[in-house]
């Protein structure tokens, strides 16, 4: 596991940029953490690093937003609203682990669909200041190489 401390959104996005540079089609990244921890901020940095030209919005109301304008397709999930309905039968398998990179906020609500090979990230408020965040990165299976590639 690798651990990072950021003190402003731009630093969280700089970490996203480093991970995006290592990303290959099929990568799944789970973004764990409370509301306001920085998951969507990270995703925006990731999208920018892939060369996505669209504005990245929080997909809370439609669960999945897809962006096709970058180096690799980006599939941005926010599974929060699946807590009640469940994640089955919505076609998410057509995206996860396929030709794009999937970034998943609230992954616990689509746990049954997550591949074993994935990059697990956690976001927490921490440290002293309002803008301090502690971020961890753990690679499972084939995603181990990504963790190892980070400084």
Site residues for ligand ADP per CB under 6 A: 6-9, 11-12, 33, 35-41, 105, 123, 131, 133
Nearer to ligand ADP, 10 or 145 (CB): 10
Quick one: 128 exposed, middle or buried, by C-beta within 10 A (0-12, 13-18, 19+)? exposed
- Quote the least distance from Cβ 119 to ligand ADP, whole Å: 16
- Quote the least distance from Cβ 45 to ligand ADP, whole Å: 9
Q: Tell me if 62 sits within 8 A of 68, measured CB to CB.
A: no
- Quote the least distance from Cβ 121 to ligand ADP, whole Å: 11
Distance CA 123, CA 125 (A): 7
Contacts with Mg ion, residue ranges (CB under 5 A): 39-40, 58, 105
Nearer to Mg ion, 58 or 131 (CB): 58
Q: Tell me if 99 sits within 8 A of 127, measured CB to CB.
A: no
Nearer to ligand ADP, 9 or 115 (CB): 9
Length in residues, the chain: 151
Other Cβ atoms within 10 Å of 18 Cβ, number: 17
104: left (phi over 0), alpha (psi -120 to 50) or beta: beta
**Minimal CB distance residue for ligand ADP:** 38
- Quote the least distance from Cβ 40 to ligand ADP, whole Å: 3
Q: What are phi and psi of 128, to 5 degrees?
A: -100, -40
- Quote the least distance from Cβ 141 to ligand ADP, whole Å: 25
Nearer to ligand ADP, 39 or 118 (CB): 39
Nearer to Mg ion, 58 or 136 (CB): 58
């Amino acid at each position: 596991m690798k651990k990072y401390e950021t003190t402003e959104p731009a630093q969280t996005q700089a970490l996203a940029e480093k991970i995006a540079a290592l990303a290959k089609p099929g990568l799944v990244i789970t973004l764990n953490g409370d509301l306001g921890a920085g998951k969507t901020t990270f995703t925006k940095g990731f999208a920018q690093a892939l060369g996505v030209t669209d504005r990245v919005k929080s997909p809370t109301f439609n669960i999945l937003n897809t962006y096709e304008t970058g180096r690799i397709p980006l599939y941005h999930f926010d599974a929060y609203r699946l807590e009640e309905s469940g994640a089955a039968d919505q076609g998410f398998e057509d995206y996860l682990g396929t030709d794009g990179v999937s970034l998943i906020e609230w992954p616990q609500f689509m746990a049954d669909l997550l591949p074993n090979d994935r990059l697990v990230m956690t976001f927490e408020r921490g440290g002293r200041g309002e803008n301090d965040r502690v971020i961890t990165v753990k690679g499972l299976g084939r995603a181990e190489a990504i963790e190892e590639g980070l400084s």
